[in-house]
């Protein structure tokens, strides 16, 4: 089966391509390279053992998307392409709505024209807003606290309406918790441009000497040590979740919604200490004030995915931090330019 992977040279997309190949699928990548580098491709080839088809294109270009979908005999689409930085979305909401909402609508329009009716969409735990309790199940109320979150929520709602009107489509919304870690080879990993927004790439850059210390945003939350608690999931487990979705609900018409998380919550201090163990160094850190829009704690109830998709996260905190460190220490500046 041929799977179009939009955003396939990005962090989660590149790891998913490896797992797709392992599972016997043929991924075809479309990416406009606005947040990834072409030098990811030879790395994927090294791990997979063969070349992978890559087309540089923008998902907002409908004609190009129809040509690609038809020209490559695509059976299903995994749609990762989009913008993901919360702070940037507050400053540039229009760009986020255009890429994430208009991009997805253009893609499904192109799929409709090419008569391809299976889609897996990258959603996020951000659609739960500030949840009333934890763990979070898929039927919790949804809300948005920033333009990035709103773009995910609006797309979820558009896809829900679209699927209702087109009941023979299979659309799966995967709500990711906090992806971390890297491919165990150390060849693929997370390579944020500029100052990392997310905790783990920031910690990794401190460990490798690119930054001085980690600022911990808040130590007065009602959590076990006062720092924020999240459900960190190894990116390889997340990638496997897409294969499970393709296999178990891809062939079934309907709107399918799943949390992809581990069901465990770790605090910022837990993560820093785990990373210290992995890299054998002390990670300097300082307490700072809370980051606006942050919530105290957020972790998944992943039992629906376990039951329907026969999937659960397998890799523990040690593997997350060891793999992240392998990537960061062997690629201190991230991927080469070309
Ligand atoms: P990423 O930025 O590494 O990958 C996204 C890729 O999409 C990049 O390679 C970028 O060049 C490409 N892209 C962006 N706009 C495009 C467009 N219009 N046309 C074609 N390509 C385009 O991000 P990621 O961490 O791999 O995230 C993948 C998806 O998962 C995103 O939709 C993101 O919102 C979602 N998600 C990510 C996280 C996270 O913490 N990483 C959490 C929840 C959800
Ligand atoms: N965090 C932090 N310092 C940083 C980045 C993040 O203390 O430099 C905290 C943040 O407040 C949250 C947790 O780490 O409690 C995870 O943040 P991240 O941005 O990685 O994910 P998200 O907030 O989207 O869940």
For residue 30, give the CATH number of its domain.
3.40.50.720
**Cα dist from 149 to 88, 97, 119, 216, 290, whole Å:** 12, 10, 20, 22, 19
CA angle, corner 209, sides to 208 and 213, nearest 5? 110
Tokens of 141: 């109320």
Which ligand 2 atom sits closest to the C-alpha of 298?
Answer: 25
Q: 85 near 132, Cβ under 8 Å? A: no
List, for residues 173-210, the tens digit of each pLDDT value.
999 999 999 999 999 999 999 999 999 999 999 999 99
**DSSP, residue by residue, 2-16:** EEEEETTTSHHHHHH
Q: State the residue range of the domain holding 121.
A: 2-180+231-261
Residue 217 covered by a domain: no
Q: What is the rounded distance in angstroms from the CA atom of residue 206 to the CA atom of residue 144? A: 31
Ligand closest to 295 (CA) is 2
Ligand 1 neighbour 232 (Cβ under 6 A):
no
Q: What share of the chain is helix, strand, coil (3-state, %, to 5)?
A: 40, 20, 40
Ligand 1 neighbour 16 (Cβ under 6 A):
no
Q: Cβ < 6 Å from ligand 2: which residues?
A: 178, 197-199, 202, 214-217, 228, 230, 268, 291, 294
* Residue 104 CB partners (closer than 8 Å, separation 6+): 59, 79, 82, 121, 155, 158, 159
Ligand 1 neighbour 80 (Cβ under 6 A):
yes
Residue 78 covered by a domain: yes
Q: What is the pLDDT of residue 54?
A: 98
List, for residues 102-148, the tens digit of each pLDDT value.
999 999 999 999 999 999 999 999 999 999 999 999 999 999 999 99
Distance in Å, CA 214 to ligand 2 centroid: 11
37, 81, 234, best to mutate for ligand 1 pocket (most atoms within 8 Å of CB): 81
Residue 325 covered by a domain: no
Catalytic residue among 25, 128, 148, 258: 148
The answer to whether 25 is a known catalytic residue is no
The protein residue whose alpha carbon is closest to atom 4 in ligand 2 is 199
Residue 106 covered by a domain: yes
Question: What is the distance of C-alpha 90 from the center of its chain?
Answer: 20
Q: What is the pLDDT of residue 265?
A: 98
Q: What is the rounded distance in angstroms from the CA atom of residue 16 to the CA atom of residue 35? A: 17
Low-confidence ranges of the chain (pLDDT < 70): none
Q: What is the pLDDT of residue 156?
A: 98
Q: What is the rounded distance in angstroms from the CA atom of residue 272 to the CA atom of residue 304? A: 30
Residue 297 covered by a domain: no
Residue 144 covered by a domain: yes
What's the total number of domains in the chain? 1
Q: What is the rounded distance in angstroms from the CA atom of residue 97 to the CA atom of residue 91? A: 12
Q: 76 near 121, Cβ under 8 Å? A: no
Strands of the sheet containing 297-298, edge to edge, are: 266-267, 229-230, 297-298
Q: What is the pLDDT of residue 338?
A: 74
Q: What is the pLDDT of residue 158?
A: 98
Residue 246 covered by a domain: yes
Residue 309 covered by a domain: no
Distance in Å, CA 17 to ligand 1 centroid: 14
Distance in Å, CA 152 to ligand 1 centroid: 12
């Amino acid at each position: 089966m041929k799977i179009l992977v939009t955003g396939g040279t990005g962090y989660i997309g590149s790891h998913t391509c490896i797992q797709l190949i392992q599972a016997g699928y043929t991924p075809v990548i479309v990416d406009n390279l606005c947040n990834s580098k072409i030098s990811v491709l030879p790395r994927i080839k090294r791990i997979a053992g063969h070349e992978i088809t890559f087309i540089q294109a923008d998902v907002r270009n409908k004609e190009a998307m129809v040509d690609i979908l038809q020209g490559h005999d695509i059976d299903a689409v995994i749609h990762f392409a989009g913008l993901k930085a919360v702070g940037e979305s507050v400053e540039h909401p229009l760009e986020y709505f255009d890429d994430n909402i208009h991009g997805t609508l253009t893609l499904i329009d192109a799929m409709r024209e090419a008569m391809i009716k299976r889609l897996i969409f990258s959603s996020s735990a951000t659609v739960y807003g500030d949840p009333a309790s934890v763990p979070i199940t898929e039927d919790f109320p949804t809300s948005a606290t920033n333009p990035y979150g709103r773009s995910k929520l609006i797309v979820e709602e558009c896809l829900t309406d679209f699927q209702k009107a087109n009941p023979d489509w299979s659309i799966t919304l995967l709500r990711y918790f906090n992806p971390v870690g890297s491919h165990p080879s150390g060849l693929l990993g997370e390579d944020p441009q500029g100052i990392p927004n997310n905790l783990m790439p920031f910690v990794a850059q401190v460990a490798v000497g690119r930054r001085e210390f980690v600022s911990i945003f808040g130590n007065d939350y009602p959590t076990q040590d006062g720092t924020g608690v999240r459900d960190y999931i190894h990116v390889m487990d997340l990638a496997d979740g897409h294969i499970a979705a393709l296999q178990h609900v891809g062939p079934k018409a309907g709107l399918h919604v799943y949390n992809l998380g581990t069901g465990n919550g770790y605090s910022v201090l837990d993560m820093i200490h785990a990373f210290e163990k992995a890299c054998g160094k002390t990670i300097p850190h300082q307490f700072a004030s809370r980051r606006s829009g942050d919530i105290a704690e957020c972790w998944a109830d992943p039992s629906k995915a376990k039951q329907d998709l026969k999937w659960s996260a397998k890799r523990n905190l040690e593997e997350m931090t060891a793999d992240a460190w392998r990537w960061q220490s062997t690629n201190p500046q991230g991927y080469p330019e070309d």
